[in-house]
Structures are given as C-alpha cells and as structure tokens.
Structure 1
Amino acid sequence: MNSPSISTGNILVVDDDADIRELIMEQLQREAYSVRTASSVQETREQLSIMPAHVVVLDLNLPDGDGLMLCRELRSEGFADAIIMVTARDSAIDRVLGLELGADDYLTKPFEPRELTARIRNLFRRMSVVDNNRPRNVRYAIFGPWRLDLLQRRLVTIDDRLVMLSSSEFRLLNRFIEAPKQVLSREMLLPERAATVAFDRSIDLQVSRLRQKLASEPEGDELIVTVRSEGYLFAADVAFE
C-alpha cells in the first residue's frame, strides 16, 4: 500500500448521493487536492485498502451501513488521519456522538462547499505541523510516565497499564504533544471549533478530565499547566518511536 504525501492533499469523499459527491469533488479539485470518491461502506474500505487518505469526508447515511459505525471501526483499526462527518442529522446528540466516535469535525447539510474546503484546509494545516515536527512512521509518543499509541489511540503506563481515552481526549492529548512546552490557547487546541463561552467551558472540562487521567501516575499531575488568561501548556518533553 502506498502512502501519499501530505503535500498532495489526498481526500476520500464518501456519500451515496452522486450529485453531492460530484459537487464536493469539483470544489476540492479546484483547490488542487487529489480526490477519490466512494458511495458505500464497502467502496470506502476498498479505496482505503488501495491507498490511505489524509482526510475522509464521510456521510452518515450509507446504503450498506452507518457512517458513525464505520468511523468507530476505522479508529479501532488504527486509522489515524482526519475524518469529517457530513450529514443531514443536526441534533446536538448526533454531533457529540460523532466526535466521541472519532470524527475530527462535523458539518451539517446543507452546507456551503467553501466552508467544507476551509475546514479541510485547516485540518491539513494542523497535519503539516505534525508532519514537520514528528519523525515519519512513528507508532508511540513517550512523555513523563506515559506512552501514547498513535495508531490504536491508547494511553499506556510504563508498566503497561491501559488507560482508556475518549476520542475527544485523544485529539486533545495529540494536540498537546504536537506542540510541547508551548502555550496553546483554547482555539489552538481545537481550532475547528468556534470560540464561544460554551466552547471555552467545554475545552476546560475536557482538559480537566484528561489531566485527571494523566495524574493517575506519579508526576502525571504536572504534565498540563494552566497559563492564566492564555491557555494551557504541555510541560513534558516528548519522544517518538
């Protein structure tokens, strides 16, 4: 299986509506992205087996399965690149569930194609930072008393005790290890989200939960530092292997 370079912007668009697939593909190709399409769960898996995708634009209503379950399965199988869910389901419960199951972003139909393009561009910007700061083909991030499995999305102690992370906690921790010893604002931690009072509270709650899990090991409580009026800082050195 060949691994495409981030510079080529490899995107897989999954939707059972041919018109929507065509519309999204044309918009993204105008931005010079390399775009493939799929109309079902089976076609999605076939496409990913041929070549990985940096971003999967995933509709939830597919003829042979549910996009939410496909997202969860891909994450459990080690798919570590970005997933944007695109759906007509607009309830808060669906959005939260999608993010918890591993989506990086969630866009409700109908939407302006340029908004999708902007969100994809933002995800690629974040991935470029990771690509520049991380050695290639790494599996683990090591920091303090912890080892984070970047493929299986598992947090493990040095004596192999597994600590479960939600998808949102994994994304947050992954963002911290992308930029250790740098102050990150709430918007920088999850830049695809709008900055609102509710957003700030949500980030603070997620950081608090993640901090509690890291603090279950000696010295783990010192990893995430609050910087008043600015954001948070990940205080550990990070090594990759």
Structure 2
Amino acid sequence: MSDSGPGGRATVMVVDDDADIRSLIVGQLQQENYRLLSAANLGELRRALQDEPIDLIVLDLNLPDGDGLSLCRELRAEGSHVQIIMVTARGSAVDRVLGLELGADDYLTKPFEPRELLVRIRNLLRRGRGESGPRPAARYAHVGPWRLDLQQRRLVAPDDRLVMLSSAEFRLLSRFIDEPNTVLAREILLPERRATAAFDRSIDLQVSRLRQKLAGIKGGDELILTVRGEGYVLACEVDYA
C-alpha cells in the first residue's frame, strides 16, 4: 500500500450519493487520522483516482451514474490494488459472493454500525501494508497436485492446463496456503470481517466454489476439509518454487 498522504497517512475515499451518509462516515473516520476524500458518484471517484493515489475506497453499489460492481471489476481488470469495501442495502449471500468475486476486499450491508466499518478499514489497511507476515519469494506454490501461480493468480495443472481464479478465490486459497494443516475458523479466513464472519454463510459458498475448481484433477478433491464446528483446513504441505 502506498503512503499517500502527508506523514504517510492512508488515504480513504468515501463514495455514496447520500450526503448524510457520506458526512456520517467521514465524521467517524476523522478520529483515525486518515486523509479523507469523498465523492457522490462514479465520475467524481474516477477523476480522483486519476489525480492521486488512494489506499481504500468505501464504495456504495447503487450510484446515480452506474453500478459500483462494474467499477470494481474495471479497477481489477486495470491491475489496481486499491482496497475496496462495498457498502450496500443488498444483503443476500449471493450478492456478497458476487461482490467479492469481482474484486471487493470486503462487503458491508446497510444499516451498519460505524464502529464495525472502522474495524474493517483498519484490518484491510493493515493487511495492505503486509503486516500478516512475509511469504517466500517464489512464482509458484505447490498445493497437492496443483501449482498456484502467485503472479498471474491462477491454478496450473500437472499437464499445464490453466484454471482461472476469481479475486475472492485467490485471496481465500492464499490464506489457506499461509497456514497449511491448520484449522482456520471463518473469522480467520476473513479477518477483515471478524465481527460477523462466523455467522455469514457467504464464506461457505466461496469455499465450495474453490473446492469445485481444485477437484478438477485427481487428488484435488481432498485438499480443503471441513472440521465440523471449527472451520476449514488445507490438508497438505505447501512448497514454493
């Protein structure tokens, strides 16, 4: 993550067409010493992204000039690594999974507690700084019969067949390979959503989709196991090359 503002302060952009909600969120974040920007629509956000580096966007999905989901997809396609928290009134697990697969880092449903948003922003920015610990400098992580291409974010089969991963699937598998053979609870797999992830079934849908891709070759169907009442475990050793 870049040190955008003076003194290395993180720059946070709040995007919502409701002026009252923008003011509320900005007011809550002022105590965190972030450099704060705000926008009422996607046009204003795009102009800001062109003018200066932004570390994190709190992005409402329903905006007068477009859908936040489309913008998120565009930013990831352009290679942007800005952290994105989607904020929306859409509350179904399918909507959450769609948002995460299109590249969002977290998803918050209205109405929400301002303190919960603060916690999620802190955790995302901390993760963006790489404070979760170093990973060996390598191109591939060997996970069972698969190779995970850490640069191109895709799976490579033994016959060199490629299987593309969504942003959400890559982040999830990366979390597993950081701690193989360790049972990880839902709130550990999604640390930025620690307050609610244990009760959010969207993580189960994400794990199921990742499992389906891993099961595409022999031996891949037994890599991620469910530990009833505790979470999930990547049941293999991980080597880097």
Smaller-chain TM-score bracket? 0.7 to 0.9
Aligned partner of 2:2 in structure 1 is: 3
Report deviation, 1:67: 0.9
Secondary structure of the corresponding residue to residue 188 of structure 2: helix
Cα offset, 1:93, TM superposition? 5.2
For 2:91 and 2:203, locate their aligned partners in 1 and report how far apart those are by CA, in whole Å: 21
Query: Is 1:194 aligned with 2:193?
Result: no
Q: Residues 19-168 of structure 1: matches in 2 within 5 Å?
A: 19-90=20-91, 94-127=95-128, 132-134=133-135, 142-144=141-143, 145-149=146-150, 153-157=153-157, 160-168=160-168
| In structure 1, distance between residues paired with 2:182 and 2:176 | 9
Deviations 1:11-56 (CA, angstroms, capped at 9, x unpaired): 2211233333232222112112232223322332333334443321
Give the number of aligned pairs: 233
4+ residue segments displaced more than 6 Å: none
Unaligned residue ranges in structure 1 (runs of 5+): none
- SS of structure 1 residue aligned to 2:117: helix
Q: Aligned partners of 1:220 and 1:90: how far apart in 2?
A: 32
Counterpart-to-counterpart distance in 2, 1:95 and 1:227? 24
Secondary structure class of the residue paired with 1:25: helix
CA contact (8 A) 1:147 1:158 kept: no
Q: How far apart are residue 60 of structure 1 and its match?
A: 1.6
Cα distance change on mapping 1:153 and 1:53 into 2, 3 Å = farther
For residues 38 and 230 of structure 2, the distance between their equivalents in structure 1, rounded to whole angstroms, comes to: 41
Measured at CA, do residues 129 and 108 of structure 1 come closer, stay the same or move farther in structure 2, by a change above 3 Å?
A: same
Question: Does the residue aligned with 2:237 lie in a helix, a strand or coil?
Answer: coil
Per-residue Cα deviation, 1:134-169 (whole angstroms, up to 9, x for no partner): 47xx8955333323355x644344665331334442
Structure 2 gap segments, 5+ residues each: none
> For 1:54-86, what per-residue CA distance to the aligned partner results, in whole angstroms no more than 9, with x for missing partners?
321101222322112111222222233432112
Cα pair 2:141 2:148 within 8 Å, conserved? yes
What is the distance in 2 between the residues matched to 1:146 and 1:28? 41
- Aligned sequence identity (%): 61
Aligned partners of 1:12 and 1:36 also within 8 Å: yes
Normalised by the size of structure 2, how large is the TM-score? 0.74
SS of the equivalent of 1:183 reads: coil
Aligned partner of 1:16: which letter? D
TM-score normalized with structure 1 length? 0.74
Q: Residues 64, 123 of structure 1: CA spacing in aligned structure 2 closer, same or farther, 3 A cutoff?
A: same
- When residues 158 and 142 of structure 1 are mapped into structure 2, their CA distance, relative to the original with a 3 A threshold, is farther
1:214 aligns with 2:217: no
